[in-house]
Amino acid sequence: MNNIQNFSDSTSVAALLQELYGFRRFGMRPGLATIARLLEFLGQPHTQFPAIHIAGTNGKGSVAALLAATLSAAGYRTGLYTSPHIRRFNERIRVDGKPIGDDEIAALVEPLLPQVRRFKGTFFEATTAIAFRFFADRNVDIAIIETGLGGRLDATNVIDPLLCIITAIDVDHAAYLGDTLAAIAAEKAAIIKRGRPAVIGEPRAALAAIFEEEAAGKQAALIQLDTAHRVSIRASQPDATMTLDIQSPRRSLADVQLDLCGQHQARNALISVAALDQLPAEFRVDDSHIRQGFAHVRRHMGLRGRIELLRQTPTVLLDVAHNPAGIRALAASLRELAPETSRWHIVFGLMQDKPAESMLESLRPICERLYCCAARTERALPAADLLSMARAGGFERCEAYSSVPLAVEAALRCAEPLVICGSFYLADEALAYWEERR
């Protein structure tokens, strides 16, 4: 594509990414006008590959990775666009599990930056445009696209996908999406496209009418998981994997190995199977492909921070749960994964816009000692404030630490079962410390 041939090998990828990160100052700005301009400059790449579009409050990253792993196993060149990343920007954009290379990032970012400046684009808008151009250049057979925030005005909502998926709904980003489940569900439902099937993973009947109305208005087939869609956990393994039985109207899968754990991930697996059943005939996915993709989703798709086992004895787990529903799911999963461990040491930090009291309430029954900390971002809740909330909430053994590494280091010295959770930012710093100490 002529617009991206100007890259010089001397260009610093780090410098380009630093400028790209600088567009975060524009925050989260819902709307499609700017992304449309950027994509026009890049040659409308989003029209050059089939896609699956996924929205939801929790679970959409896992569903995206499960679908990508399965479609890659079936032999299709598969793009995967997710956010946010944990350790490196490259994690956001993958083809068949392989992250975009530094040279490829530079070749795409450098010519796009003047346009981002011109239109005052956001970081996410620029990143989305880069991902779409990369997938078109790589001639992917299909791309799995995760929304960043919401749905209706999310930058990814310019695509016309083969099908849409909406995972679990919860109150999050209330300033942008509304402060009720109904308002948030309506924003997510707006990714449903005319004449395209939509798989709904949100289980609450009270929200069903919102999806039904949106689908009816767009003459879209609506697939809401019902009694014909079933999943059960046959066994949970100490290595944070599990064995599932999955039933859909088109498939019956027994003894499926899933490289994830927890009831919420079992449901994400069921949502993924329901979505695969809705793909058009040119995308043939056999049961063997599902088994292969599900068994290796972490390794093949770089899915990190989903009850990730860093060490088995004593157990150290990392999870990016960052809202009340995510923390509740984490607490429930820990009880399933290690029923003999009733209390955990927990390194915890979160962003200022999250309901800390609610999240602490879910952690308190399983917490032996709480290590409060704050990631290195202005958005983080100060550790001292978190400590005050924890003490007010009934935590008896809790301390504040001046950094994430110091909190993790203190927790590791206790040599007890440990879970690190609260935000993607915290996960990044905890993993950096973990990798350095190894």
Q: What is the mean pLDDT of residues 376-389?
A: 97
What count of other Cβ atoms lies within 10 Å of the Cβ of residue 236? Answer: 19
Q: Is the peptide bond before 30 cis (omega within 30 degrees of 0)?
A: no
Q: How many helices (H) and strands (E) does the chain have?
A: 16, 17
CATH hierarchy code of domain 308-437: 3.90.190.20
Residue limits of CATH 3.90.190.20 in the chain: 308-437
Q: Where are the alpha helices (DSSP H) in 190-262?
A: 208-217
166: pLDDT confidence band, cut at 50, 70 and 90?
A: very high
**CA trace torsion 10, 15, 17, 22 (10° rounding):** -150
Q: Retrieve residue 375's tokens.
A: 């990631």
Encoded amino acid at 414, one letter: C
C-alpha distance from residue 186 to each of 149, 152, 166, 191 (Å): 13, 8, 11, 10
pLDDT tens, 129-165? 999 999 999 999 999 999 998 889 999 999 999 999 9
State the CB neighbour count (10 A cutoff) for residue 342: 12
pLDDT in tens, 250-268: 999 999 999 999 999 999 9
Write down the pLDDT at residue 354: 93
Give the integer Cα–Cα distance in Å for 53 and 150: 12
Residue-wise pLDDT tens digits, 218-260: 999 999 998 899 999 999 998 999 999 999 999 999 999 999 9
The answer to whether 276 and 290 have CB atoms below 8 angstroms apart is: yes
- Residue 240: count of CB within 10 angstroms of its CB: 24
Which amino acid is present at 201? G
Q: Is residue 93 scored above 90 in pLDDT?
A: yes
Question: What tens digit of pLDDT does each residue of 280-336 get?
Answer: 999 999 999 999 999 999 989 999 999 999 999 999 999 999 999 999 999 999 998
Q: Centre a 10 Å sphere on the Cβ of residue 50 and count the other Cβ atoms it contains.
A: 18
Q: 3-class secondary structure for 270-292?
A: HHHHHHHCCCCCCCCCCHHHHHH
pLDDT, residue 101, reads 96
Domain with CATH 3.40.1190.10 in the chain: 2-301
Q: Say how far apart CA 294 and CA 266 lie, in whole Å.
A: 11
What's the confidence (pLDDT) of residue 55? 96
In the predicted structure, residue 12 carries a pLDDT above the cut 90: no
Q: Is the pTM of this model over 0.85?
A: yes
CA-nearest of 410, 364, 354, 385 to 173 is: 354
Q: Which CATH class is domain 2-301?
A: alpha beta
Residue 10 predicted with pLDDT over 70: no
φ and ψ of 296, to 5 deg: -130, 25
What would the mean pLDDT of 191-214 be, rounded to a whole number?
A: 95
Tokens 């930058």 correspond to 155
| pLDDT of 150 | 81
